[in-house]
Amino acid sequence: MPPIKKIVTWILVIFLLYAILTNPDAAADIVGSVWDLLYSGIQNIFEFFNELLQR
């Protein structure tokens, strides 16, 4: 792993930990929103292919 990528990864991890520890309610809301977005996106993809296969 290149040093830049390793540094950016550590900075991202430290920022996420800081955000969770300083404001856990907002962090939980963000995670919930991202989860809902991913779930609905995957559900829409499956619905799309299901409609393609039914024709």
pLDDT > 70: what percent of the chain? Answer: 98
Q: What are phi and psi of 22, to 5 degrees?
A: -85, -30
Q: What does the pLDDT average to over 5-30? A: 92
Instruction: Note whether residue 12 is domain-resident.
Output: no
**Taking the complete model, does pTM exceed 0.75, yes or no?**
no
Q: What does the pLDDT average to over 29-53? A: 95
Instruction: Note whether residue 18 is domain-resident.
Output: no
Instruction: Note whether residue 42 is domain-resident.
Output: yes
Written as one string, the DSSP assignment of the chain is --HHHHHHHHHHHHHHHHHHHH-HHHHHHHHHHHHHHHHHHHHHHHHHHHHHHH-
Q: What does the pLDDT average to over 13-28? A: 91
Instruction: Note whether residue 11 is domain-resident.
Output: no
Instruction: Note whether residue 45 is domain-resident.
Output: yes
Instruction: Note whether residue 49 is domain-resident.
Output: yes
Q: What does the pLDDT average to over 32-36? A: 95
pLDDT above 70 for 1? no
Structural domain including 52 reads 24-55
How many domains does the chain divide into? Answer: 1
